[in-house]
Structure 1
Amino acid sequence: MKSRALPLHARLPACLPARLSTRLSLVAALALTALAPTAQAQSFSNVLQGASLAWTHVHAANNGGTAGFLSEIVAHDRVNGQLWVSGVTGIDVLDATTGSRIDHINTSAFGSVNSVAIHNGVAALALEASARTSPGTVQFYDTRTRQLTGSVTVGALPDMLTFTPDGSRVLVANEGTPSSYGARLADSGGHRNYGLSAQDPAGSVSIIDVRTRTVTATATLGGVPTTGSHLRTNTGMDAEPEYIAVNRAGTQAYVSLQEANGMGVLDLQTGTFSKVVGLGAKDFGAAGNSIDPLNNGTVKFSNVNAKGLYMPDGMAAMERNGQTYVLMANEGDFREDDADRSAGSSFGGTGELANLRVSNTDSSSGNLLAAGARSFSIRDADGNLVYDSGDTLDKAAFEAGLYDDNRSRDKGVEPEGIEVLTLNGRTIAFVGLERTTQSAVAAFDVTDPTQVSFLRLLVASGQQAPEGLEAFEQGGRYYLAWSAEGGSLNTGNRTTVFDLGAVAAVPEPGTYSLLLTALGLGAVIRRWRTKTAV
């Protein structure tokens, strides 16, 4: 049996007077209560759930100073207190707390930059080739000097990249979008079907060793075992990795295969995919899953006889009680040429479902499947659904006066990116909404993935379409940055930063002697001992 610490009053000197012993015990007990992490976490939870959640807008840096630049992905450089923002033609380097532009790195000579990630003073950039079906590159920069330090060839159309938690490897999602799609085949079961394209580079994930700047493995998806349901394999293209999240141990990565409605599980020890999980479909007829299917100028949420394929874009990983959970922003996406979508009327949809945009490779008469779940969800490491936000995002945008009715028949607010931050004992998920009338990010308390609560919307006026999100700590405060590529000519194309509050100082309760010393009680005991010594 594990030994238990004696209560403080039992450990005080036996010769102390009962009154002094009792007082010391009471003061120390009160101090321990104040220091207890559970008390602090509960207090913070109450603040989060209150109406006066004081997260304040700090600045919105204008990234419109360079021709062709779009504010897309943002990464925080802890070493220099800066934000690196990627935007097709290059990188804007900003002061994280003021938003002032420090530098612009022009990468247009090397291709279009799609993503940036930073770890310990090393920035990695994903660049697609001028012919996007050709191999792309990952460039490495020293964030102190902002000089190029190396370049590595990867797969076609590197769309997103991330460091493993220890910074030893960079994982690159090579989307490999085809230049043309496969030919249409004979319909079956009411579904439209397409064969594979000859001009379709294999979707893959490159694993780069940061120290040697070499690709140690390229994981592809052909022949990988599949589980789950509603995995799309008949769309005229192969699986195209969109986004990557990594577990805390750096042993597994979870890869969104958006157009395929799947998640690939990548074993980082072998450098191969162990399985692909079909993510299923969400029933818009179920309670709490209502949608507004009509963009007719009147917003009306109702349960309808249709389903949504989850099709996540951004993903993030979190740990709780030794378990890994994967958070997904269920945006939904069709082929670039939109040949795999039709109006609901093509499959018997009438009334409010007649114009709903649905997948014509998945829908059949009386069985409408739309792209996207209009939500964010949490799954376990095997892809099993743990939580889904239902209709919360669309309704929150509507209540805030930000709902764009023009998107009603096509994916609603389109959850695009997702970021997770542990903020003073609570885990918060931030979900970017690409299709609201003002740039908006929804915040949820996901500390317990099975008991999730919506907190509030963070809104930056004059902007639209938040693409990338980055939560960070700097100077003893928490921040959330997001890059928005849309909006008015004067206020769009910006990087927004919100201040989320101070990092709470929660001292570790050490030994009782340390506690007594901190309270000044050790001196009291020493003086009493001196007086009573014989």
Structure 2
Amino acid sequence: MRTKIKYILPIAAMTALAACSKDDVKNDPGTEITEDPSSFAEIGSIDIGEAGAAEISAYDPATKRLFVVKNDGTNMIKVLDLTDPSKITDLKKDILTNGGNVNSLAVSNGKLAAAIEATNKTLAGRVDVFSTSDLSLIKTIPTGALPDMVTFSPDGKLILTANEGEPATDYSADPAGTVTIINIENNYTATHLDFSGFAAQEATLAAKGFRNFGPAGSTFTAGIEPEYITVAPDSKTAWVTLQENNAIAKIDLAAKTITDIFPLGFKDYNTDANAVDLSDSDGGVTFKKWPVKGMYQPDAIAVLVNGGVPHLFTANEGDVREWDAYAENKRIKSISLDPAVFPDAAALKADAVLGRLNVTKTLGDANGDGLYEALYSFGARSFSVWNGNTGAQLFDSKNELDVKAKEAGIYEDGRSDDKSIEPEGIALGVMGKKTVAFVGMERVDAVAVYDVTNPISPQFLNILKVGDAPEGVLFVPAKDSPTKKSLLIVSSEDDGVVKIFTPKN
């Protein structure tokens, strides 16, 4: 659950975040290239470890080094030579980190920022900043609890972290979710933002699809869980996904203030365009309409400014709050359905129908009588585009990712009852006059490629097979690439493999 890239200078993450402005791009002679974004093919790979390795990558164009998270034993950052992407070399200059997992990496202007959680994840984490050339430690800055993603502003003046603030599994501690803004030019001074100012709006937000919940005694600020951040090309505004909360927050970076929370609402699977397979026990993969809704719950986020409007691209993975002391998920066969709404409840609860689908018990029983009149599943099995000024949805890929995965022979029916393909990472990049989106899908080990030159009408181009459980999706534009051709770098957490792709044409 980590990813990011930014405009022109790529940075890393669980997936990849991008900030692009089409107006900036057309004035950059370095983008006047001719490449076919549908022709990406693998040119190199490297295996750096076991599960937990190769989660996130960040590339430095000055040194031609690729930095990769490695958490499969001793937590560290691997340093790889990408001078020849077809022959990736381990420089044997690992950066060892003390404390908990390294969750995210980002590069800007010769600096490598690493988001590192505390050994006890409920305590304050930190950002370590290193030199990309000599790998020396420049600065350590405290953050909120569990910094899950780090990014630089495009102007290189700020470092931002999304601090998820997950609870202890027994809920003995549940820290507030926060965002840390670090001012590099002011000796790395940090400002920590929480969401307490929105507590009075909770009911209004909830009516629009915002979720904030937990065991008895949970507080509003503790229930907020920031996941990923993207920053506008002018470095004045940032947006952060609140995955478990089914929302996106907007931040004024000059004022260092969270100005808005945009609830994302719900997806209706009872339409032809959104038809999906919701059972892993129905003997195959068949997409149908169902009386079920999906919570978007985005993980990675990227921004493309087009016509002055920030278009926010999200990978709608979904996530479940499931801890020893509290779990929100139930299978439909384990809950009671309102017979007035579901007269065929017994048939629906069969394993081959909807019985095994995981839904949240926190929604759907509006009157509290123990009978569910609506069903809400995790994630939306899609990527979406939202208006960054208003939060309005401008596009959703509906069921296309599922359909394309099935056509490619990689759809995993065993995940139909959960979150399906799990779109987790998203990266944006510019190739000549085209803007391209790369959507990492964790459960089918693939990346979908889309032409998003018109951001409200993305066009599917291709699907690429990658490593096991891709987390980091990183685009390197041709002008920053060691080959002077665009690169797609995908790092996968379950097999520790990093793969490099480039267009053939």
TM interval, shorter chain, is 0.7 to 0.9
Q: Which of 476, 488, 510 is the matching residue for 2:484?
A: 476
Structure 1 length normalisation: TM-score?
0.77
**Aligned residue runs from structure 1 range 31-430, under 5 A:** 53-64=38-49, 70-88=53-71, 89-96=75-82, 97=85, 98-180=87-169, 199-224=173-198, 225=201, 227=205, 229-236=208-215, 237-296=222-281, 297-337=283-323, 339-345=327-333, 346-348=335-337, 349-351=348-350, 352-364=353-365, 365-381=372-388, 382-430=390-438
Residues 450-485 of structure 1, C-alpha deviations (whole Å, 9 max, x = no match): 22111110113xx31000111003132100001101
CA contact (8 A) 1:174 1:242 kept: yes
Q: Could you tell me which amino acid in structure 1 is paired with residue 197 of structure 2? A: G
Question: How far apart in 2 are the matches of 1:329 and 1:282?
Answer: 14
Q: Could you tell me which amino acid in structure 2 is paired with residue 199 of structure 1? A: A
CA contact (8 A) 1:293 1:409 kept: yes
CA contact (8 A) 1:128 1:135 kept: yes
Query: Residue 171 of structure 1 aligns to a residue in which SS?
Result: strand
Residues 236-272 of structure 1, C-alpha deviations (whole Å, 9 max, x = no match): 4510100001111111111100001111111111112
Residues 422-445 of structure 1, C-alpha deviations (whole Å, 9 max, x = no match): 111111110000001xx2100111
Question: How far apart in 1 are the matches of 2:33 and 2:488?
Answer: 22
Question: How far apart in 2 are the matches of 1:120 and 1:103?
Answer: 23
CA contact (8 A) 1:206 1:215 kept: no
Unaligned runs of 5+ in 1: 1-35, 182-196, 487-491, 503-534
CA contact (8 A) 2:34 2:431 kept: no
Structure 2 length normalisation: TM-score?
0.82
CA contact (8 A) 2:322 2:329 kept: no
Question: How far apart in 1 are the matches of 2:208 and 2:472?
Answer: 29
Distance 1:289 1:43, change over 3 A: farther
Identity %: 34
Question: How far apart in 1 are the matches of 2:312 and 2:398?
Answer: 17
Distance 1:55 1:174, change over 3 A: same
CA contact (8 A) 1:478 1:501 kept: no
CA contact (8 A) 1:107 1:113 kept: no
Query: Residue 469 of structure 2 aligns to a residue in which SS?
Result: strand
Residues 392-445 of structure 1, C-alpha deviations (whole Å, 9 max, x = no match): 111111111111111001010000000000111111110000001xx2100111
Match of 2:14 in 1: none
Question: How far apart in 2 are the matches of 1:464 and 1:395?
Answer: 20
Match of 1:441 in 2: 447
**Higher Cα Rg, which structure:** 1
Q: Could you tell me which amino acid in structure 2 is paired with residue 471 of structure 1? A: F
Question: How far apart in 2 are the matches of 1:42 and 1:481?
Answer: 22
Displacement of 1:362 in angstroms is 1.2
Question: How far apart in 2 are the matches of 1:43 and 1:134?
Answer: 47
1:466 maps onto 2:466 in alignment? no
Q: Which of 480, 495, 516 is the matching residue for 2:498?
A: 495
CA contact (8 A) 2:272 2:288 kept: no
Query: Residue 200 of structure 1 aligns to a residue in which SS?
Result: coil
Displacement of 1:124 in angstroms is 0.2
CA contact (8 A) 1:44 1:426 kept: no
Question: How far apart in 2 are the matches of 1:362 and 1:44?
Answer: 49
Q: Could you tell me which amino acid in structure 2 is paired with residue 62 of structure 1? A: D
Question: How far apart in 1 are the matches of 2:438 and 2:187?
Answer: 32
In the comparison of the two structures, how many residue pairs are matched?
433
Question: How far apart in 1 are the matches of 2:243 and 2:51?
Answer: 27
Query: Residue 393 of structure 1 aligns to a residue in which SS?
Result: helix
CA contact (8 A) 1:279 1:383 kept: yes
CA contact (8 A) 2:33 2:431 kept: no
Query: Residue 414 of structure 2 aligns to a residue in which SS?
Result: helix
Q: Which of 441, 455, 460 is the matching residue for 2:461?
A: 455
Unaligned runs of 5+ in 2: 1-25, 216-221, 338-347, 366-371
Displacement of 1:146 in angstroms is 1.2
Superposed structure 1 runs of 4+ greater than 4 Å apart: 41-45, 225-228
Cα RMSD, aligned residues only = 2.2
Looking at both structures, which has the greater relative contact order when contacts are Cα pairs under 8 Å and sequence separation is at least 6?
2
Residues 366-412 of structure 1, C-alpha deviations (whole Å, 9 max, x = no match): 31100100000000112110000011111111111111111001010
CA contact (8 A) 2:43 2:501 kept: yes
Match of 1:6 in 2: none
Query: Residue 421 of structure 1 aligns to a residue in which SS?
Result: strand
Query: Residue 394 of structure 1 aligns to a residue in which SS?
Result: helix
Question: How far apart in 1 are the matches of 2:155 and 2:80?
Answer: 25
